Each structure stands twice: as C-alpha cells, then as structure tokens.
A and B are shown apart, each in its own frame.
Chain A
C-alpha cells in the first residue's frame, strides 16, 4: 500500500461525519465572519442532511479538496447576501448586482472556510490541498460527484441573510472501513 493510500484510509467516513467536524465548521464560520466582516453569524439547528430548496438569484462557491480527503466545500447564499459580504470585505463600499467583486468575495470566503476547516482537522491539515474557487450563478442545479459521498450541512444566519455550508467527502476507501 502506498503512503498516500495509508493516509487516505486514516481519515474515515465516520471521522468525517463526527459532530466535532460540524463544531469545527461553526468555529471557522463564526471566526471568519467576525474577523473579516464584523458580522455575528449563528448556526441554525438543522439535520445534517437538510438542504433547503434553492431560490432564484443565488450564488454558490465551491472549493475542492484533494489529497488525503477528496471532496469539496460549498457555500450557497442569495445575491443580496453575497453583495453584503462583498461590501463588508471592501470596508463598507457598496457593490452593484453585476459587480465581479461579488463572485470574487464569495469565492474567497469559500476558500477561507475550506482552508480554515481542514486546517483544524489534524490528519488533513498538511495532507489536503485546496483547489481555486469556482462560483456558480443561478439556481436549481445539482452537483454530481464521481463517487458516492458523505456530506455535512449547516445553515447559518447573519444580518437577516442565510448561508448554507456543505462539506462533501468522496468515499474513496474500501468498503467496510
């Protein structure tokens, strides 16, 4: 077995799905929103597989994980909320609906969330790399992973806006591990 395969099996699905990982996500989200935007953000109590229906005028940012865990970090929010995030990142400067900085801000936020989360998981910190962010405009899309995946979801609320965070982990280990 190669070294990378040994690392892959060390981060198992049941570890990924642990309550600790949701706590880590909450900590990272809270920290980033406070430090970067001065927003108080709260986790809403939803089952981990809950996924509210998509709405019109949404943006989704995706950052991929590779290495000891393959998967992705996705955040979904309304354009209004994304504008609010972009404006806060710029120190309160208003942004237009079609401003590129909205996508840029959401992508950077997703990058910080993905990095912050995996840096808090000891077995992933040095062994997992991030892809550049991708941002999707629109709604009613489906994400298809190449392999069955486990996911952790959490909905947050800030400044009257909702933000949905989902962490996916591809099941790349042999069955039964």
Chain B
C-alpha cells in the first residue's frame, strides 16, 4: 500500500497491535508514523503527508476528538480517512467523531475482518 499511515494512541502496545493487524488485513503501508497523543500527532501532520490516520479517543494532553477538531481547523490531512479506534461505543461520542471529520469507527477489541470491512473500503474510495 502506497503512502504513510499515522497511528495515534497513548499505548505503545496498541499502536503496535494496530500496525500488526493492518498488515494482516493486507494494508501494509510504505511507512508508519506513531504518536502518543494529539499534540504529537499534530506535529507529525504539519510536516508529513499521510494516507490514513488511525486514532484513539481517550488520550492524555489532547483527546482524539480534540485532535479531529484541530486537524479540521488547520486543514491538515484534507481528504485523508480518519478512523477512530476506541473501547467507547456511546452514540454521542460516535456522532461527535463523525461530525468532527472521522470517516470510520472501530471498537476495541477488533479483528483483521473488522479492519478489512471498515478501513479497506475507505482507502479504495
């Protein structure tokens, strides 16, 4: 897969898990960037072009939803699919994420099939 994926999660373990499962779902990117919170992610997005963002919601310093808003405000990653990856599945939070620009939502725990069904179509579009 061409391009770079950005994985944003405060857990280094979950970042590795996301990258491993993307690979298993035949979504191995040329390069991968990792950020431990929203601020790190913004810094990376200001100096890199990415093809996909996989983003946790509950993070210290800046939550995933605040990050989405900031990406929108700064017009970073325009047209890039952003998929939220979280243990939360409350409707208000999903709605808020979609309104802020998320294109997909995956609940932890997730499988290769979830990635194939929910992420792959976003990249093909």
Contact = CB atoms under 8 A, between A and B. Distances in A.
Given A35-B109, A91-B20, A132-B58, A111 B92 contact: no
B10 A132 contact: yes
Given A35-B110, A91-B20, A132-B60, A115 B12 contact: no
A80 interface: no
Interface in B11-34: 11-14, 16-17, 20
A53 B35 CA distance: 39
A89 B88 contact: no
B12 A104 contact: yes
A116 B109 CA distance: 9
A81 B55 CA distance: 28
The CB with the most chain B CB atoms within 10 A, among A104, A107, A108, A130, is that of: A108
Contacts of B86: 115
Size category of the B interface is 20 to 34
B13 A101 contact: yes
Interface in A97-156: 100-101, 104-105, 107-108, 111-112, 114-116, 119, 125-127, 130, 132
Contact of B87 (A36, A90, A114): A114
Given A107-B11, A130-B58, A31 B109 contact: yes
Nearest to B91: A126
A17 interface: no
Given A126-B90, A126-B91, A132-B60, A90 B109 contact: no
A172 interface: no
Nearest to A126: B90
Contacts of A132: 10, 58, 60
Nearest to B90: A126
B87 A104 contact: no
Contacts of B93: 126
A86 interface: yes
Interface in B28-87: 58, 60, 86-87
A13 interface: no
A65 B108 CA distance: 17
B88 to A, nearest CB: 6
